[in-house]
Amino acid sequence: MVKKGKMIQLPEAFENRMKIQLGQDYPNFFQALLEDPPQSIRINPNKTNPPSLLPSVRSCHTGYYLPERPMYTLDPCFHAGAYYVQEASSMFLEQLVSPHVRKGLKVLDLCAAPGGKSTHLSSLLSEDCLLVSNEVIRSRATILSENLRKWGNVNTVVTCNDPRDFTRMSGFFDIILVDAPCSGEGLFRRDPEAIQEWSEANTALCTQRQRRILADIWPALAEGGILIYSTCTYNPEENEGNIAWLKENMDAVPAVPLLTVEKGIEVTDALGIPCYRFYPHKVKGEGFFATAVAKQSSTDRLASFKGKSFFQPAGKQQRALVKDLLIDPGYFIFQFEEELIAWPQMLQNDLESIKANLRIIQAGVKIGSLVHQQILPAHELAVSSVINRAYFPEEKISLPDALRYLKKEDFQPVSNQKGWHLVTYKGIPLGWMKHLGNRINGQYPKEWRIRMSIDAYIGERLRQENGKFPFPAGADFY
Ligand code: SAM
């Protein structure tokens, strides 16, 4: 739907180029920029069931469109990592990754913050696969880490490294995703700031940066491995141009099998490598570009780690303390400072290799800290897929109380049993609370709390009959 009176002022050079690029389709493209962007989410299959009434995003089995944008802040399930708000075109990643998914893969998401594609990859990989999710900018790596902790899977490491640091990981990864920093032309409809920042000089700068990133990361890809390259921009230099450059300079070949794609996605060619383009007038999503190439050149694989272990395994007594807290007693448990951390046993050596070569800022799932020979459970455990839910008493709370809990305000608990409780909303864990008898101590992390005033909305919710708030009627989400 076009918003009444909506205007958009595009940079002249961009407009001229797009007129040539799209020909007679240009007016349709321009018209689409005046429309409201479609709203979409990708659910976390470990936490919630597929919604029954929402239309699906065709390229992604966990992607759904919403009829309008809700206030996500007012949905406790959003804070619990039950879904990720992500525009639909970029969910096409699933089509490029799925043909290559098998047991024991080592996957790198090189430019990962804030975590849209990493949470998606995490859902596509089984627990015996490794996901290294990297972001070079420290502050953005913190947001990435928050989103992955909420997503809750145990086999993920968050690193904060420059692409060139990965040359130390020769041939280590079977799949590498480079969702490159770009000139962002595909985001003009959503983000008017992207228009202000656009210039021809900046697209040239982005192209050079993307080539540097590709050259830096190519040695870390295993022989026969797959590199997926994506941007959210339209100009050929940052897209097909870079893929042609990769073919000529790095011996990249098309990844097989070749995809059959749905109507509306444009297939282009970069020296024989098929590339996929998304335009807002042709698909229900934003501008996007993606392709997958394979590496045929021979590459030495980093030898398995043989040095002294960086991770002190938990002792017998500590293991006994955490045994009942975890769904599977077979995890590698190690101690880092006061914390006990769970990590998949079969990925232990990989974690050592990563620690030896990269800057880790988070790995696995924090189980809790050791205090006076007891475990104080960590928030990450509550929202993870490794928790043994049967072990903890559950406090099932209503929407108003869930919002109070997430805001770190008091609420009246239902149970009167003292001790640690897993706080859940619609069956999805939100975190811990400690029942002290006459009051409760909410344990939701202070830095993630809801900061906006919620009183007016709590009243609104109580007036609603259909229980869907903050989702619009008709969006039968849970
Ligand atoms: N993949 C992310 C997602 O789906 O949520 C979005 C990634 S965004 C398009 C590109 C990322 O690359 C940004 O987080 C940015 O900080 C990072 N970046 C910027 N300069 C970089 C560089 N020189 N090397 C690697 N990453 C860079």
> Which pLDDT band holds residue 471 (cuts at 50, 70, 90)?
low
Residue 206 CB–ligand 1 contact under 6 Å:
no
Q: From CA 419, how far away is CA 395, in angstroms rounded? A: 11
- Looking at residue 467, its pLDDT comes to 55
Instruction: For the domain made up of 392-463, give the CATH fold.
Output: 2.30.130
CA distance 470 to 206: 39
> Is a pLDDT exceeding 70 seen at residue 478?
no
**How many Å lie between the centroid of ligand 1 and the Cα of residue 145?**
14
Domain with CATH 2.30.130.60 in the chain: 392-463
Residue whose Cα lies nearest atom 17 of ligand 1: it is 111
Element of type H or E holding 381 = helix 379-382
- pLDDT average, residue stretch 214-223: 98
- Segment of 218-232, 248-262, 444-458 carrying the highest mean pLDDT: 218-232
Residues near 40 by beta carbon (within 8 Å), at least 6 away in sequence: 57, 63, 64, 65, 66, 85, 86, 87, 88, 91, 285
Tokens coding 328: 């599977």
Testing ligand 1's pocket by substitution, the residue of 60, 84, 110, 111 carrying the most ligand atoms inside 8 A of its CB is: 111
Q: What is the pLDDT of residue 460?
A: 67
312-382: what fold? Nuclear Transport Factor 2; Chain: A, (3.10.450)
**Averaged pLDDT, 168-196:** 96
Among candidates 294, 188, 292, 300, which has minimal Cα distance to 235? 188
Residues 269-275: what's their mean pLDDT? 97
- Segment 53-64, tens digit of pLDDT: 899 999 999 999
The neighbouring-strand residues paired with 278 are 288
Is the pLDDT reported for residue 266 higher than 90?
Answer: yes
Q: Is the pLDDT of residue 400 over 50?
A: yes
Statement: 87-295 belongs to CATH 3.40.50.150:
yes
Task: For residue 316, give the amino acid letter.
Answer: K
Computed over every residue of the chain, the mean pLDDT equals 93
pLDDT value at position 399? 87
Which residues in the chain are classed under CATH 3.40.50.150?
Answer: 87-295
Q: Looking at ligand 1, which residue's alpha carbon is closest to its atom 16?
A: 137
Intra-chain end-to-end CA distance of the chain, in Å: 27
Q: Burial-class residue 452 by CB neighbours within 10 Å (0-12, 13-18, 19+).
A: exposed
Per-residue pLDDT at 415 exceeds 90: no
Tokens, residue 357? 């070569």
Average pLDDT over residues 281-301: 96
Residue 474 confidence class, pLDDT cut points 50, 70, 90: very low
Query: Could you give the CA distance from residue 370 to residue 345 in angstroms, rounded to a whole number?
Result: 21
- CB-CB contact of 236 with 244 (8 Å): no
* pTM recorded for the entire structure: 0.96
112 CA → ligand 1 middle, Å: 6
- Choose among 459, 475, 342: nearest CA to 65: 475
- Residue type for position 210: Q
Mutate to test the pocket of ligand 1, among 136, 197, 239 (most ligand atoms within 8 A of CB): 136
Strand positions, DSSP E, 232-316: 252-254, 266-270, 273-278, 288-295, 312-313
Q: Whose CA is nearest to atom 9 of ligand 1?
A: 181
Share of the chain above pLDDT 90, in %: 82
- Is the pLDDT at 213 greater than 70? The verdict is yes
Q: How many CB atoms lie within 10 A of CB 178?
A: 23
pLDDT for residue 472 is more than 60: no
pLDDT cut 70: percent of the chain above it: 95
How many beta carbons lie within 10 A of that of residue 101, not counting itself? 16
By CB atoms closer than 10 A (0-12, 13-18, 19+), residue 277 is: buried
Angle, vertex CA 259, rays to CA 186 and CA 64, nearest 5? 55
136 close to ligand 1 (CB < 6 Angstrom): yes
